[in-house]
Amino acid sequence: MIPVKMKTESLLYTLRPLAAFLPVLLLIGCQPRWTETAKGGYHLVENEDGALLGYSPESGVQILTVDRLAFKDLNRDGSLDPYEDWRLSAADRAKDLAGRMSEAQIAGLMLYSAHQRLPGGGFGGRDTYGGKPFDESGARASDLSDQQRTFLTEDNLRHVLLTTVESPAVAAEWNNNAQALVEGLGLGIPANNSTDPRHEAGSDDEFNLGAGGEISRWPGAIGLAASFDPSLVRQFGEIASREYRALGMATALSPQVDLATDPRWYRFSGTFGEDPVLATAMARAYVDGFQTSPSDKEIAGGWGYESVNAMVKHWPGGGTGEGGRDAHYGFGKFAVFPGDNLKDHIKPFAEGAFNLEGGTGRASAVMPYYTISYGLDPGGEYVGNAFSAYFITDLLRNTYGYDGVVCTDWGVTRPDEGMAVFGRTPWGVEHLSVAERHYKILMAGCDQFGGNNDAGPVLEAYAMGVEEHGEAFMRARFETSAVRLLKNIFRTGLFENPYLEVAETSAVVGNPEFMKAGYEAQLKSVVVLKNEGGVLPIKPDQTVYIPQRYVPPGESFFGQPIPGRWEDPINLQIAGKYFTVTDNPDEADIALVEITNPINGRTAGYSAEDAKAGGNGFLPITLQYGPYTAVEARDPSLAGDAREGDVLNRSYKGKTVTARNHTDLEMVLDTRRVMKGKPVVVVLRMSNPTVVSEFESQVNGLVVNFNVQDQAVLDIISGKTEPSGLLPLQMPANMATVEQQYEDVPLDMEVQVDAAGNAYGFGFGLNWDGLIRDARTEKYAAPE
């Protein structure tokens, strides 16, 4: 047994040599565990085993050291507040911050800007820079416009919708400028920038292996659906989210998961088709791909620095407009459900976007559509979905348990200015003031106002709520929405580092790997419908006649006029790399004719001229090229508006229309004539299902192009790549079946059947061996 004295002496003897080092050890224990690096206009602060912080010294934000770790003092009060502590959960931080915000700050958070161009700013690019138009100002493309500065500083707006950008570098620089500005304001809440889909391919783009581009190019939603491959859609989401974040965009106003159960709908091509099972699988894959960060970029629960909030749209489904009309206009404001089939339209939301495989669980935001879902509210209210407490609170929030952000579609609070005026859509509440519309939206359960840069009406709505319910109620209502909105900003890491390295943006966006993946997806979207006598693939030694196409005058989605013109429908330089091209049909072995599906125009289904002439203004929407008289149309209409200046019976029965591009049909038939019996192959560039019976029997080959690059189509028809695409829709046999189908019921039309007995229905497609039957068709498609 060792005496206690000996133990003590031995211990002191052991510690004596360390005593000299004790001050050093104490100093090491107090040293910050972070380093700071200047990056031009901002600084990066790297914590050991912690968050990477970015801040602008010009904003006035300082770095706090707590527990040897770095934190941003966003409100510049010299202490670490819970919302500034990146170690806490997004929910806890959001709740703390919401409680600190003024009503004016929450009102600004509820705003979602009108469309912004870089440069140019708002709609039409008419913003000013230092009081001058951009071209006269000497400003850089990445500078903030006067109007952008106003809505960020005076209206406290923090959600910005970006459209066209001059380049990825400009987008990154603009983001840094905007973030530096708002970081120095109030509580330092960063901007949550967003975009509509921006990856669709241009027809004459050329893909070169190893070459990059401004952004990777993919099929649109209907083309992705033609792959029948949810894993491809998830891959798209993973790549697109990386590109979005590199552009400074942390929210995607997508996917559009409406079931396209009416083939005439103007927005059909933005959907995953009309089948609820396939659309549900695609919706889940899309949102998982966008929202889930890889493990090395994860913050918590699947969310992280490569996550992009997905705003799934349009609740509860916008594809059932009566007669196929669209609700951007008063003539299309009613969605009808003659088949009593709302349940199928909810499936892509409830079973897809709200039921993810990844850790994020469900889509972080939802956008209701403009439509009045006619006759479905048990309380008998007829208002647009965003104004409906039944559709937002009772159904979405209570029945389906959704507690994420609900943002209105753009322009629903603007005054109605007529049946055919775009973007003013207060359907069912036309009689209310702008502020009253905001109040009704809040009371319905929505959180955010799309397309509104002005906080004034939101604050007026707050005052209305205080008058009706009291201050405590309305403050709690505001904070509920603020927490939802803030969580989407916290979870994506924007409070820690909203800044971008421009060189990294340029390296990520449109890099060769992403371009290759997008191009391969385009190949998988091309559908071969007819290959009579094995006319396809076209051989390299064949001479091909490609006639010019006349493009009739038209209008863009936003109403800008587009003049008529003649064009080469396929890039002849690219086509010449596959076979010999001629403009003389006598020299040709085969003809290749590219046409577009029948075009009805921007205000499809309505004519102001008809209304002025004493009619009700309503016209058929045609899916055929030649003159169409709607003898099978219903009369009276299912929905209508008895108010003065509107129309109760919206039937168009007996009226006749002709597709604007009827010349496409004439071109096909003329080509058949001049080829004198030699093969004719038609490439149909298709956004809507098309009645092909007008020409199908006159051609030898028929290929569907869901608006991808010419090169992808040429790779297929030349045999370089085996076709694998399948129809995610039905090709109607005639317009009678289009009129007879129910707007809300999928797959209920008679389909086109060709001479070989092939039915052009959902899941149909050919490869070089004939009819495609594989695991995809077994899972999703029964034979028509």
pLDDT per position as a tens digit, 721-767:
999 999 999 999 999 999 999 999 999 999 999 999 999 999 999 99
Q: Is the pLDDT reported for residue 157 higher than 50? A: yes
- Cα angle 741-746-749, degrees, rounded to a multiple of 5: 40
Quote the DSSP letter at residue 359: T
The token pair at 138 is 């000497």
Amino acid at 372: I
Segment 669-679 mean pLDDT: 98
Q: Is 635 helix (H, G, I), strand (E, B) or coil?
A: coil
Report pLDDT digits (tens) over 228-281: 999 999 999 999 999 999 999 999 999 999 999 999 999 999 999 999 999 999
User: In the structure, what pLDDT confidence band is assigned to residue 216 with cuts at 50, 70 and 90?
Assistant: very high
Name residues whose C-beta falls within 8 Å of residue 546's C-beta, 6 or more positions apart in sequence.
Answer: 568, 569, 570, 572, 575, 581, 583, 591, 592, 593, 594
Tokens of 772: 């495609």
Return the pLDDT at 602: 81
- Neighbouring-strand partners of residue 656: 629
Of 60, 96, 58, 54, nearest to 75 by C-alpha is 60
β-partners of residue 46 are 35, 52
pLDDT at 516 over 80: yes
Q: Kindly state the average pLDDT of the residues 91-112.
A: 98
Q: Beta 561-562 vs 565-567: how paired, if at all?
A: unpaired
Q: What are phi and psi of 444, to 5 degrees?
A: -70, -25
Rounded mean pLDDT of the chain? 94
pLDDT for res 332: 97
Q: Which pLDDT score, from 0 to 100, does residue 558 have? A: 67
Structure letter (DSSP) for residue 387: G
Q: In this structure, how many other beta carbons lie within 10 angstroms of the beta carbon of residue 212?
A: 17
Q: What is the mean pLDDT of residues 307-333?
A: 97
- Dist CA 315 CA 324 (whole Å): 17
pTM of the model: 0.94
Say how many C-beta atoms besides its own lie within 10 A of residue 198's C-beta. 18
Query: In a 10 Å sphere around its CB, with 0-12 CB exposed, 13-18 middle and 19+ buried, how is residue 35 labelled?
Result: exposed
Q: What are phi and psi of 91, to 5 degrees?
A: -65, -45
pLDDT of residue 423: 87
Whether 257 and 283 have beta carbons less than 8 Å apart is answered as yes
Q: Half-sphere exposure of 90 toward its Cβ, with a 13 Å CA cutoff? A: 22
Helix, strand, coil share of the chain (percent; to 5): 35, 15, 50
Give the residue among 776, 768, 774 at the shortest CA–CA distance from 723.
768
CB hemisphere CA count around 676 (13 angstroms): 6
pLDDT of residue 521: 98
> For 429, left (φ over 0), alpha (ψ -120 to 50), or beta?
alpha
Q: Which of 23-37, 44-58, 300-314 has the lowest mean pLDDT?
A: 23-37
Nearest CA among 314, 316, 331 for reference residue 377: 316
Report yes or no: 270 and 282 within 8 Å, Cβ to Cβ: no
Residues 591 and 671 sit within 8 Å (Cβ to Cβ): yes
Amino acid at 604: A
Q: Residue 4: which pLDDT band, with cuts at 50, 70 and 90?
A: very low
Query: Residue 400, class by beta-carbon neighbours within 10 Å (0-12 exposed, 13-18 middle, 19+ buried)?
Result: middle
Would the pLDDT of 24 be above 90?
A: no
Say if CB 630 and CB 620 are below 8 A apart: yes
- Residue 626 CA to residue 664 CA, distance in Å, equals 10
**Four-residue CA torsion sign, 701, 599, 331, 125:** positive
Mean pLDDT of all residues in 123-148: 94
- Asked whether 402 and 447 are in contact (CB, 8 A), the reply is no
Task: Tell me whether residue 306 is exposed, middle or buried, using C-beta atoms within 10 angstroms of its C-beta: 0 to 12, 13 to 18, 19 or more.
Answer: buried
Higher confidence at residue 416 or residue 16? 416
User: Taking the CA of residue 256 as centre, how many other CA atoms within 13 Å lie in the half-sphere pointing to its CB?
Assistant: 20
Task: Report whether pLDDT(3) > 80.
Answer: no
Least trusted range by pLDDT, from 166-175, 192-201, 368-377, 381-390:
192-201
Query: 517 pLDDT exceeds 80?
Result: yes
Give buried/exposed letters for 15-34 (b at 16+ CB in 10 A, else e).
Answer: eeeeeeeeeeeeeeeeebeb
What's the rounded mean pLDDT across residues 375-388? 97
pLDDT band at 125, cuts 50/70/90?
confident
Which amino acid is present at 486?
Answer: L
For the residues 59-73, what does the mean pLDDT come to? 97
Closest to 484 measured CA to CA, from 98, 161, 155: 98
Q: What is the mean pLDDT of residues 282-308?
A: 98
- What is the reported pLDDT for 557? 66
Mean pLDDT of 549-567: 85
Cβ neighbours, 10 Å, residue 778: 10
**Which 8-state DSSP code applies to residue 294?**
P
The strand pair at 116-118 and 128-129 is best described as unpaired
Q: What is the pLDDT of residue 29?
A: 57
Strand partners for 391: none
Identify whether 636 is preceded by a cis peptide bond (ω within 30 of 0): yes
Residue 148 scores a pLDDT above 70: yes
Mean pLDDT of all residues in 146-170 = 97
**Residues of the chain above pLDDT 70, percent:** 94
pLDDT of residue 553: 87
User: Taking a C-beta distance cutoff of 8 angstroms, is the pair 405, 462 a contact?
Assistant: no
- Strand 309-315 to strand 249-252: parallel, antiparallel, or no bridges (unpaired)? parallel
DSSP, res 201:
P
Strands, E assignment, 196-254: 249-252
Nearest-CA neighbor of 120 among 144, 101, 88?
Answer: 144
Instruction: Tell me: pLDDT of 12 over 60.
Output: no
Tokens of 528: 């071969």
- Give the long-range contacts of residues 774-777, CB within 8 A, separation 24 or more: 776/228, 776/229, 776/726, 777/228, 777/726
Which helix (H) or strand (E) segment is 645 a member of?
none
Sign of the dihedral defined by the CA atoms of residues 711, 714, 718, 724, in that order = positive
Tokens representing 576 are: 């010449």
pLDDT at 549 over 90: yes
Coil, strand, or helix at residue 779? helix
Residue 751 near residue 784, CB atoms below 8 Å: yes
Hey, which bits of 615-746 come out as E strands? 628-629, 656-657, 680-685, 701-705
Report the run of H or E that residue 711 belongs to, with start and end.
Answer: helix 710-717
Q: How far is Cα 541 from Cα 549, in angstroms, rounded to an integer? A: 25
Task: Identify whether the C-beta of residue 385 lies closer than 8 Å to the C-beta of residue 392.
Answer: yes
Q: How would you classify the pairing of strands 372-373 and 334-335?
A: parallel
Encoded tokens for 7: 């133990």
Alpha-carbon distances of 322 from 263, 687, 773, rounded to whole Å: 11, 19, 35
pLDDT at 18 over 50: no
pLDDT of residue 9: 41
User: Per-residue pLDDT for 211 more than 90?
Assistant: no
